[in-house]
């Protein structure tokens, strides 16, 4: 079942390759500030199967509702590891450890978490519970 979902989602681009990622991050922080949500930055690429696996998990009903309630999501295209490298560095994500790579910011843009060891680089093999547990851990404190 997961393989079918991945095949279907792999044909749909996740990352806008023409996006101004710095502007998108600033807009997400502004939106999070108004709504009390955190910001999740997802560094990845459309060619990456693990990026598609993460995206598929994030769109499953239980996790999707949690994310809608608690996060503003910014998908940041890294191309062939030749785009938005400065943003990845700014937010503490070593892309050399693999993608997708995630950083979580509070509603003011303060870094709360930066994936440092490629924790999601094997998203295809991760159980759904791991994704839910991660997003619950970094929910905004209310």
User: pLDDT digits over 17-43, tens only?
Assistant: 999 999 999 999 999 999 999 999 999
Whether residue 5 is contained in a domain is answered as no
What is the token pair recorded at 72? 């503003």
User: pLDDT digits over 67-89, tens only?
Assistant: 999 999 999 999 999 999 999 99
CATH of the domain at 128: 3.40.30.10
**Residues constituting the chain:** 142
Whether residue 33 is contained in a domain is answered as yes
pLDDT level of residue 12 (50, 70, 90 thresholds): confident
Give the contacts of 18 (CB within 8 A, at least 6 positions apart). none
Q: How many domains does the chain have?
A: 1
Give the contacts of 73 (CB within 8 A, at least 6 positions apart). 28, 39, 40, 42, 58, 67
3-state SS assignment for residue 104: strand
Residue-number span of the structural domain to which 37 is assigned = 13-137
Whether residue 133 is contained in a domain is answered as yes
């Amino acid at each position: 079942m997961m393989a079918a979902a991945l095949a279907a989602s792999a044909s749909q681009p996740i990352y806008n390759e023409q996006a101004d990622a710095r502007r998108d991050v600033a807009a997400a922080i502004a939106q999070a500030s108004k709504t009390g949500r955190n910001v999740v930055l997802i560094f990845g690429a459309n060619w990456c199967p693990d990026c598609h696996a993460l995206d598929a998990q994030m769109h499953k009903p239980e996790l999707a509702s949690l994310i809608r309630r608690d996060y503003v999501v910014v998908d940041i295209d890294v191309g062939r590891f030749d785009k938005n490298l400065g943003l990845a560095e700014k937010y503490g994500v070593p892309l050399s450890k693999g993608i997708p790579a995630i950083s979580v910011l509070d509603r003011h843009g303060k870094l709360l978490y930066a994936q440092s060891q490629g924790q999601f680089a094997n998203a295809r093999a991760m159980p759904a519970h791991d994704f839910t547990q991660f997003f619950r851990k970094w929910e905004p404190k209310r």
